[in-house]
Amino acid sequence: MHRRDANQLSKFAKKERDVTAALADDIRAYAVKRWPTMNHEWRKAKLASLLNMKVRRVRSYWDAEETLSPRQQEVDAIKSLIGAEEEKARVEADRALAERVAELEAQLAFVMSSLAGDQMAASGGAAWGQGEAGNRSHGSASRGGTGNRD
């Protein structure tokens, strides 16, 4: 074997190990997040049933064994399982965010209506009590504002 070919094979093997290590990290993080109270053996068995794989094969992914040769079908199944969970979490986060925005909009509308009511009361009171025309139109307002008509 030529030195160049051996170098290319080692690069490929290194890339494959990186992918396997990334899958191992993803699988462990997914399992711990989904089943936080269970032990690793139970998680591996559950993943094996979900992924339609043998427990020994899941353990190879879990431990990122160097001898593991990832099959494309298995990698796709793992990624779709993790991706489906992430999509579900994203949808839930979007729903929670939409609820929070609606809640804040309702609070803002209430504050705006309160401010508008206060402004109306302030401008209405100023129109009634200011100037000669306002006082004459309401009788005794020019005599001290008692409201009694003599």
Per-residue pLDDT reduced to its tens digit, 22-35: 888 888 888 988 88
Look at residues 81, 99, 79 and name the one whose alpha carbon lies nearest to residue 91. Answer: 99
Per-residue pLDDT reduced to its tens digit, 71-121: 888 888 888 888 877 777 788 888 889 999 999 999 999 998 888 888 877
Q: How many CB atoms lie within 10 A of CB 44?
A: 23
Give the amino acid at 14: K
Helices (H), 52-71: 55-63
Which long-range CB contacts under 8 A does 133-138 form with residues at least 24 apart? none
**pTM (whole model) above 0.75:** no
Q: Which pair of structure tokens corresponds to residue 30?
A: 């997914």
Per-residue pLDDT reduced to its tens digit, 31-71: 988 888 889 899 999 999 888 899 999 998 898 888 888 88
